Amino acid sequence: MAHLVGVITVTQKDELIGHEWQPRSYFNPVQDINDNWVISAEEIQGNINPDFPWVNDISPLIEYEPKPFPPITGDTGEFLGE
């Protein structure tokens, strides 16, 4: 299933961190495979924080491609599985 996200600038990322997009839910910008900072379609479409009206206008939405993370191992070297 495709997960849609919207690209934001580094400045916008810094503005959003630590702020809610709906009560008890905080923005969580992450980087995609191309090092773009992105937030999810849910945050873009569901944002009701009046301090960030521009969030609702982010477009186009693109398919999220996660960064390839190397397998994380535990202290004893085994596959973390996470």
Can residue 16 be called a binding residue for another protein (CB under 8 A)?
A: no
Can residue 60 be called a binding residue for another protein (CB under 8 A)?
A: no
Residue 18 burial (CB count, 10 A): 8
Can residue 55 be called a binding residue for another protein (CB under 8 A)?
A: no
Q: How far is CA 56 from CA 6, 7, 33, 36, 65, in A?
A: 10, 12, 23, 18, 21
Helices (H), the chain: 10-16, 41-46
Can residue 80 be called a binding residue for another protein (CB under 8 A)?
A: yes
Q: Which is nearer to another protein, 11 or 63 (CB)?
A: 63
Binding site for another protein (CB under 8 A): 1, 3, 5, 22-30, 38-43, 46, 64, 66-67, 69, 71-72, 74-76, 78-82
